Amino acid sequence: MTAYRYTIALFAVLSISACSKPVDNQTIQEDADKKAQASSLPQESKQSSSPEALTASNKERFDIYADFTLTTDLSHLSDNQKKLIGVLIDASKIMDELFWRQAYGKKSTLLSRIPEQDTKKFAEINYGPWDRLNGDKPFIKDFKEKPLGANFYPEDMTKAEYEAWQKSHSEWLENNKFAELYTMVERDSSGNLELVAYSEKFSEELKQASDLLLKASELADNEEFKNYLKLRAKALTSNDYQASDFAWMDMKTNPIEVVIGPIETYEDMLFGYRTAFESYVLVKDLEWSKKLAKFAAFLPELQKGLPVEDKYKAEMPGTDADLNAYDVVYYAGHSNAGSKTIAINLPNDEEVQLAKGTRRLQLKNAMRAKFDKILVPIAQQLISEDQQQFITFDAFFGNTMFHEVAHGLGIKNTINGNGMVRTALKETASPLEEGKADILGLYMISELFEKGEITEGKLMDNYVTFLAGIFRSVRFGASSAHGRANMVRFNFFKEAGAFEIEPETGRFKVNFEKMTKAIGDLSNLLLTIQGNGDYERASQLLQTKGTITAELKLQLDKLTAANIPVDIVFNQGKSELGIK
């Protein structure tokens, strides 16, 4: 596919009279449109009209991140492989700049006006003036709330307007199903909407990144990795990523890894359609990867056993999937914004998933940092003393790993002709998918324990560590798909009695039998909503259970009072690795 612009006719949207019901889906939709329009002012216009320095409106949360240095043992790598890592870091820095433009605007226009170093650092962590782990609230004076569509859409475009265009162009969208993933939405000189391909909008930067990937391919001594780098380089300038996704699935033995390009859609909270630029540079942990290799073979069997009607599990995941552990040495763009990813399940292309499955990359050093610096202190505050023995790194690692495996389970296409799940569920797709992966991951672990395939530790380790993990992820806030998914699960588990609160200590204690039943019930609910493409039910679930209750806030306040970090921020780069 070559670079392109698609001009979209601008459709008038009929006004809808107010509904007499207190709350329903129509009212919710209208509120979302109003919020989207009110908050979608141009990012630069959100700044003060004067060129004066920007100052923080609130510094209370500037210490919520714990520092961690990204490094690993490179002694087993050749000189060329070390040079290769350096080139990949250079390419990653370009992804970082492009994500700034998608999330906010030009990085320099914001940072150059912030004189205070602590405020500037917090803006760098958040890729803009909004606190990502506090509902995207602005922390710099004179800024309004963050647009739901970030910088992907025009300032004056409402949600209803874009949906009207989609409805009128449904046939075209079916034939160009990747168009919305890799385009910015803009207005032309006549005021009409148009889709501008990333390869055109960011042509100069993507050409530089493409050249760096080609340079890296010349240094690569693994043929599959070399091929992937060449195809990914081509994808950056052609806007067609599928061939490189297939090539990425064929890599099995390369000791160095890079995940780079426009990948996840979480940043687009208006629709969840548009992908954000990011990158990870990784070094494989051979010992831990060997331990994980056997589990991918169980996917078809686990798919058949899902606790839902057969029609919701009719698709069979590809068996060419693999599990590996890595030390990550560089994050950039979306992956580095706010909360840091500790595991990867890609590619997202449903056609590739059905044909080949997915690859699951566990980022062991980042995972260990979150376990030691955040999860263990949380457990010490909130988990009953007699169950703290069940908090283990192996259980945390396993829960995270099987979360990624579980993304491959369920179905990608609705059972009733509503199209792909991610399209039918719109902006609710990401939190529903994260919730599904969390709960099915735990379901899979329980099944593998029962089959005798997991023999180390106890299932109770996974249950209690999972509960502590809910408190960790809920702190990411409502602007995070992972945070909202954990809020739903906490409230669902509470109603199901999966945990109880000790009256004398206020600490949480897992009820094993009720937790097991709740896992099956929530799995069934989420798989059914996805299979039906039931947007209304998904919205209702997130609105009724995807909130921080007064009880939950009380527990989170304890963590804040104890100065437990919310997440980590990295010291990273070539100097940390000792390479040039």
Task: Please report the beta strands in 144-275, taking only residues with DSSP state E, as ranges in sequence order.
Answer: 183-187, 193-197, 256-264
Q: Determine the pLDDT at residue 13.
A: 29
Amino acid identity of 12? A
Query: Residue 347, preceding bond cis, omega within 30 degrees?
Result: yes
Dihedral through CA 111, CA 113, CA 117, CA 122, nearest 10? -50
Name beta bridge partners: 131.
Answer: 137
* Terminal C-alpha separation, the chain: 36
Query: What distance in Å separates the CA atoms of residue 245 and residue 275, rounded to the nearest whole number?
Result: 15
Q: Determine the pLDDT at residue 319.
A: 57
Q: Determine the pLDDT at residue 19.
A: 32
Q: For residue 457, count other CB atoms closer than 10 A to its CB.
A: 15
Residue 537 main-chain phi, psi, to 5 deg = -70, -35
Residue 174: enclosing H or E segment and its boundaries?
helix 170-175
Name beta bridge partners: 276.
Answer: 264
Q: Determine the pLDDT at residue 117.
A: 97
* Residue in the block written with tokens 């050093």: 365
Q: Where are the domains of the chain?
A: 363-577
Listing DSSP states for 420-453 in one string gives BHHHHTGGGHHHHHHHHHHHHHHHHHHHHHHHTS
Listing DSSP states for 308-340 in one string gives S-GGGG-S---S--EEEEEEEEEEEEGGGSSSP
* Residue in the block written with tokens 């994050």: 331
Name beta bridge partners: 363.
Answer: 326
Query: What distance in Å separates the CA atoms of residue 371 and residue 220, rounded to the nearest whole number?
Result: 33
Could you tell me if 181 and 273 are in contact, meaning their C-beta atoms sit under 8 angstroms apart? yes
Residue 307 main-chain phi, psi, to 5 deg = -80, 65
Kindly report the CA angle at 291 between 289 and 292, in degrees rounded to 5?
65
Query: Cα–Cα distances in Å, from 66 out to 130, 339, 370, 372, 407?
Result: 19, 11, 9, 11, 29
Query: Cα–Cα distances in Å, from 141 out to 59, 67, 81?
Result: 11, 26, 46
pLDDT in tens, the chain (580 residues): 333 344 443 333 222 222 333 333 333 344 444 444 444 333 443 333 446 899 999 899 999 999 999 999 999 999 999 999 999 999 999 999 999 999 999 999 999 999 999 999 999 999 999 999 998 999 999 999 999 999 999 989 999 999 988 888 788 888 888 899 999 999 988 888 889 999 999 999 999 999 999 999 999 999 999 999 999 999 999 999 999 999 999 998 999 999 999 999 999 999 999 999 999 999 999 887 877 777 767 878 888 889 999 999 988 766 555 788 999 999 999 999 999 998 888 999 989 988 888 888 999 999 999 999 999 999 999 999 999 999 999 999 889 888 877 887 888 899 998 889 988 998 899 899 999 999 999 999 999 999 898 888 999 999 999 999 988 888 876 656 777 888 899 999 999 999 999 998 999 999 999 999 999 999 999 999 999 999 999 999 999 998 888 888 888 889 989 999 999 999 999 999 999 8
Measured in residues, the chain has a length of: 580
